[in-house]
Structures are given as C-alpha cells and as structure tokens.
Amino acid sequence: MHNLAVSLDGYATGDGQSVDAPFGHAGDRLMRWFFETRSFRSMHGQDGGSTGVDDALAAAWSPRIGAEIMGRNKFGPQRGEWDDAGLAWRGWWGDDPPFHTPVFVLTHHPRPSLEMAGGTTFHFLDATPYEAVAAARAAAADGGEGGDVRIGGGPTTVREFLAADLVDSLHVVLVPIVLGGGVRLWDGLGGLEERFDIETATGPSGVVHLTFTRRPKTATASREIAADAAAIFELIADPAQQPRWDGNDNLAQAAAGQRVHAVGDVFAMTLTNGQHRENRVVEFEEGRRIAWNPAPVGEPEPGHLWRWALEPLDGGRTRVTHTYDWTLLADRQRMAKARATTDDRLRASVDRLAGLAESGR
C-alpha cells in the first residue's frame, strides 16, 4: 500500500463521495501534497513540480507492481447493484488509467471485466482478502512485469487487509488537516505497530510520511551440536525420526522407508491431533540442507516452510540452524498458530535433536 493520506483525526477520505468529489468533503486536501510533486505532474505530461522527500516517495508508487486490489468505492461512487449509469462508469482515470496492470475491484456485485487502454483491466470480484490476494498474485506472475501486489485503497479495504495480516509494506502520509468525519483507517487495528518497523520523514509540504515495513515472518534457532553433520542430517531426513526431536509436540508418527533423497520427494506424517500431512521437499543438499512445504493430504500447500541447514565445523561439531518461514502463508485460520511458532519453539526442536545426536541414539 502506497501514498495513503490520512488526516490528523484519522480519516482517509471524507463524507459525501460523488462523481465530482472522489474524496467527499475532503476535496483535494488529503492528496494536495501528491498532486504538487514532479512525479505526479510527469504522469500527466506536465513540467515542474516539487522534489525532495514528497516526490521521492510519490515516485515509489509503481515500480515492480504486477497487479492491484482496490475497493469498489475507489473505483467509483456507485453503491448497490450496478444500474445503467454504473455499468457505463469506467473509473476516475479516463480511458488510459495509470495502473497498466490487472486491477481487482472488490464488490458484492460482480460484473464483467472492463478492459482499458494501456494494459489496465478491471476485474470485479466478490472475494475475501485472501482470495483476492491469490487471484492478484496469479495475475501478477502471468504478466511478467513484476510480482508485487498493491493494495490501492480505499481505507476500508486497506483496513481489512491489515486486519488479515496480508500487508508487507505500508506508506501512510499524515496530512496536517482535521476532517471531522469520513472513513477512518485505524479502527480495530490496535497493536498494529508490533508487526512492523516504522520510520518517519517530514516532507517540504508539511506532511509526515510513515513507512511500515513488516517484520520478518520467520522464526529461527541455531546452535552447535557435538556430532557429525551426516549423523545429524540422518535424523532430519528420515521422517520416521522427526517425532523424536519435534519441540512443538506436533508430530506423532511417520512410516519407515520415506528417507528423503532429492527435491520433489514427498513424505507423509501423522500429527498428534490425528490429521495427516504430505510434505513436499523444495530444497535438498545431502548432509547440508533440507526444506519442505507441508499440506493437508490432497489440498494445496498453504504457503509455509520448514528448513534445516547444517554447517560442519572443526572437531566433529556442526552448526545447526532451524527456520520456520510463513512469509507466503495466506490461510487466515493458520495465522495464529504461525505467530505462535516462535524462536523458542524451534530452539526446543534443535535442543532435542542435539540430545539425540550427541548420545548416538
């Protein structure tokens, strides 16, 4: 999400949106800083414009974007079912919108896609944030121009994607005005700052830029083990051994004879809750590295990964690093458990592995 302007009292758009007033009673006050930059003027074939921090951040709006997701009220002022005027509406941006990518418009009233000049096509979806991200990622990958998905607004849509924990980077512009009404951004997002590293910069126009960068969606633990790398790796690459060192107490049993030998191997595991998982190996170097993506049997992979890396040291010792990576996880029901998989949980697995390897059991 980029260039989302918010008033001092937390409103990202005003009341009374109409064809002639995209931001309602806020007019152009929220976005005036942007309209005055060199980048904005250049987009419209005009010379001049401000430079400095405002322009530098404004210019970061488009690189590497392969698809956009926006709410219906960013696309237009219509509400409810599409009437003739609504179906004739082609957005605020003219025949050649600035996106030049697929744009997914979230609405409870889907309609046929709308193809515009310059590579922009509006697709109208009744979808959850997770479903919308999946569709946008697929479109971005197909386009080949860039893999990132931009959440374009408005504030209700941005709030939903933040609540769903689907935003990796957020640029909010605090504008020194008071609107007194409209649509607020931050409601229901208490504690959001705990998920992001936040930096601020003041622009020459008087606005304050806040950039939110997601803290890594990973947990890691590492230690030296007084055992040979080959012996340690055998305990990891043989799924039947994994329940013995699992510090999450999540793995119950795996059949013998599933020892992993290459990328693409799949091994089955039964969990302590009785569920079954298939684990597809995505990284493999004998004695050094192994990683797999788990998934319920017969279902798509939800997007998290377990990795082990081994570094042989002098004296028959080995540096072992265990990582859980849920950067690509897009299943809301799994988010709470992913967050609960901390460094300490992984450290418990590494310590149990060390006990087995050092004892030779």
State whether 326 and 263 are in the same domain.
yes
State whether 24 and 140 are in the same domain.
yes
State whether 332 and 190 are in the same domain.
no
pTM for the full model? 0.70
State whether 93 and 237 are in the same domain.
no
The residue out of 172, 198, 214 marking a domain boundary is 214
State whether 243 and 206 are in the same domain.
no
State whether 15 and 78 are in the same domain.
yes
The 10s digit of each residue's pLDDT in 38-54 is: 988 887 788 888 889 99
State whether 140 and 279 are in the same domain.
no
Predicted local confidence at residue 194, as pLDDT: 82
Q: Which domain holds residue 289?
A: 218-359
Predicted local confidence at residue 144, as pLDDT: 55
State whether 182 and 306 are in the same domain.
no
State whether 224 and 185 are in the same domain.
no
% residues pLDDT > 70 (the chain): 99
Predicted local confidence at residue 175, as pLDDT: 97
State whether 234 and 97 are in the same domain.
no
The residue out of 214, 239, 265 marking a domain boundary is 214
State whether 264 and 208 are in the same domain.
no
The 10s digit of each residue's pLDDT in 50-72 is: 889 999 998 887 678 999 999 99
Q: What residues pair up with 50 in beta bridges, in sequence order? A: 37
State whether 296 and 209 are in the same domain.
no
Ranges of residues in the chain with a pLDDT under 50 are: none
